[in-house]
A = this chain, B = another copy of it.
């Protein structure tokens, strides 16, 4: 018989994956607590049982860790939110589905959201991107699609997108203060708000 815990692949590869993940995990906490700017590579390494030099085997610097962290989150949440939105056929569904997918994700992955909340300004400055990755751009595009399909009234898609992201973000923060987070209540509130707002904007556009 060979060795016991042969989950997958060689030990070498498994350790590499584990170390990389350990660094990302530690960085998540550090960035959320200290903020990206004040955090140091040492702060991250210290929350790990790795040595300083090992860190540099995985990432060239602090920035690339944040990048990796964001790539993880955006890939996941973007797909889920967009899919949910496109499933909607009315304004109501478009809005409610999107927010629900978003808030369910937040409720699952609080730590990652803390990083976003704590470092939104930095992320914006670093990557010239809005708070949640390319979320705002996606949303604006989906809104345009909705308008073209006749589900939504003719509104300023970009302005609506930033308003939805801004309000959605803050209402999400508030939701996460509850334990457990009340996803339904948050979705209902924010959906009603924007459904009503959309109607009024449509009325005024005439």
Q: Does A107 contact B (CB under 8 A)?
A: no
Shortest CB-to-CB span from A132 to chain B, Å, is 11
Residues of B contacting A174 with CB < 8 Å?
Answer: 158-159, 162
Q: Mark A106-140, 1 if CB is under 8 A from B, else 0.
A: 00000000000111111011000000000000000
Residues of B contacting A159 with CB < 8 Å?
Answer: 171, 174, 189
Q: Which of chain B's residues has its CB closest to A166's CB?
A: B170
What would 16 A/B residue contacts be, using CB atoms closer than 8 Å?
Answer: A35-B36, A37-B39, A118-B122, A121-B121, A159-B174, A159-B189, A162-B167, A163-B167, A163-B189, A163-B193, A166-B167, A192-B200, A194-B197, A195-B200, A197-B197, A197-B200
Q: Is the interface of A mostly helix, strand, loop or mixed?
A: helix
Chain A 15-42 interface residues, beta-carbon cutoff 8 Å to B: 34-39
Q: Does A12 contact B (CB under 8 A)?
A: no
Residues of B contacting A119 with CB < 8 Å?
Answer: 121
Interface centre among A124, A164, A189, A195 (most CB of B within 10 A): A189
Q: Does A70 contact B (CB under 8 A)?
A: no
Q: Does A147 contact B (CB under 8 A)?
A: no
Chain A 48-86 interface residues, beta-carbon cutoff 8 Å to B: none
Residues of B contacting A203 with CB < 8 Å?
Answer: 196
Q: Does A168 contact B (CB under 8 A)?
A: yes
